[in-house]
């Protein structure tokens, strides 16, 4: 067993033993009174890496609450975008599971679920449970709270695992004579030029879905301008026909001059494959990708903040909700699972951040250094912009912009048209 797998086993066992002790007394009491309650949930299998997302916390909870509650997971081989689209379908057909993820990645759908009381307000449970409340970082709790204090998204403990930056191949950089990741955007574009001059595709990009990887680069670069930083904080901007929209479009077009030939009309899994296969030197993604990097590449892959010391993060996107349709015992089990997840996450961060953590690889050290380096946090566009723009307009118009079939001005008009379409659908 290699160091990475050994570390994962030790961490999982340690977290389980800590949390299982807290639940043991309640388990005994519960199993004496009734049968185990199943809490249905749907989770995805990552198409890129073949790993079951969130499997460790589910296993730990099911062991800790054996005989009382069981998270009954249906594992589906879907991208995150496909899962989110299916959430809408399941809401109409009545097939939503008791616990749903990714809800805040769909801003308008989330608001509809709140207004129609389709999900539970968790604030009474969190505020009346001192252990749960004190395990949540204040900034995370604030991000998951509504203006009236209600909480529909049970948060993780920390924002430490919700940040996105840049993964880069140190060997490919070395081949181009580049010794470190660029600190400024000017240096970043120069870095891309050097890589390209040495026959190396600088960036792993894609256009389908919400154009996740290129949009991370483009919005991080936009935030370097004062007006861009303010623009990224806006919820549902009223127009993109301004400096920020023009800058965003220009950056997107420039990014695709530094990518692979197969970046058009494909999703993130193709970009990921191009990166891990060594066909591209950089890819933008979050902490969660560390575990998806093949073992043989660990020595070559590094993690850095975006130029200008920026990370992209919206902790609320990691909040999970409880669907109101279910009977009380199922909802009770779901809420216990969400508290368990918060505590699990708190211990997870402590274990990873500890100096004595076993098998800590270079990417993890890089990530800790980036998070502890007081970066400027840029909000994730996916929780700020309308769903029509994200799910339809970008996938349709971005390839045309990149290929010269659509001007920057026409691209901006389509972004604004998405606002009108979105408003008509409300």
Domains present along the chain, CATH in parentheses: 3-161+315-353 (3.40.190.10), 164-312+364-425 (3.40.190.10)
Q: Tell me the residue length of the chain.
A: 426
Predicted pLDDT at 196: 98
pLDDT in tens, 361-416: 899 899 999 999 999 999 999 989 998 999 899 999 999 999 999 999 999 999 99
Q: Nearest 5 degrees, angle CA 175-CA 177-CA 180?
A: 105
DSSP bridge pairs for 311: 377
- pLDDT score of 13 more than 70: no
> Closest by alpha carbon to 382, among 252, 219, 269?
219
pLDDT in tens, 245-285: 999 999 999 999 999 999 999 999 999 999 999 999 999 99
402 φ, ψ (degrees, to nearest 5): -65, -40
- pLDDT score of 67 more than 90: yes
Report pTM.
0.76
């Amino acid at each position: 067993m290699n160091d990475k797998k050994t570390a994962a086993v030790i961490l999982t066992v340690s977290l389980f033993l800590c949390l299982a002790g807290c639940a043991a007394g309640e388990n005994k009491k519960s199993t004496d009174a009734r049968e185990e309650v199943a809490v249905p949930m749907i989770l995805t299998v990552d198409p890129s890496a073949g790993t079951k997302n969130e499997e460790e916390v589910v296993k730990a909870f099911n062991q800790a609450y054996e005989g009382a509650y069981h998270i009954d997971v249906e594992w589906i081989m879907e991208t995150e975008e496909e899962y989110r689209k299916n959430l809408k379908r399941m809401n109409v057909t009545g097939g939503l599971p008791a616990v749903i993820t990714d809800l805040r990645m769909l801003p308008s759908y989330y608001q509809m679920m709140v207004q129609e009381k389709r999900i539970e307000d968790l604030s009474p449970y969190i505020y009346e449970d001192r252990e749960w409340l004190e395990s949540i970082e204040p900034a995370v709790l604030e991000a998951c709270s509504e203006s009236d204090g209600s909480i529909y998204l049970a948060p993780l403990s920390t924002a430490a695992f919700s940040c996105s930056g840049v993964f880069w191949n140190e060997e490919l950089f070395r081949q181009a004579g580049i010794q470190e990741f660029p600190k400024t955007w000017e240096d970043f574009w120069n870095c891309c030029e050097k890589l390209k001059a040495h026959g190396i595709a600088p960036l792993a990009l894609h256009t389908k879905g919400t154009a996740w990887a290129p949009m991370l680069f483009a919005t991080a670069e936009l935030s370097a301008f004062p007006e861009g930083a303010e623009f990224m904080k806006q919820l549902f901007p009223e127009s993109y026909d301004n400096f920020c929209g023009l800058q965003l479009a220009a950056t997107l077009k420039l990014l695709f001059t530094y990518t692979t030939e197969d970046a058009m009309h494909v999703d993130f899994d193709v970009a990921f494959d191009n990166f891990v296969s060594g066909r591209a030197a950089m890819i933008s993604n979050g902490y969660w990708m560390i575990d998806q990097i093949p073992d043989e590449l660990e020595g070559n892959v590094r993690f850095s903040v975006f130029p200008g010391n920026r990370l992209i993060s919206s902790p609320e996107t990691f909040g999970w909700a409880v669907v109101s349709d279910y009977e009380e015992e199922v909802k009770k089990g779901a809420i216990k699972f969400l508290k368990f997840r918060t505590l699990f996450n708190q211990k997870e961060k402590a274990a990873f951040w500890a100096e004595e953590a076993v098998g800590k690889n270079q990417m993890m050290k890089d990530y800790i250094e980036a998070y502890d380096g007081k970066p400027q946090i840029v909000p994730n566009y996916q929780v700020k912009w309308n769903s029509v723009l994200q799910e339809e307009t970008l996938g349709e118009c971005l390839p045309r912009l990149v290929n010269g079939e659509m001007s920057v001005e026409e691209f901006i008009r389509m972004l604004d048209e998405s606002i009108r379409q979105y408003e008509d659908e409300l």
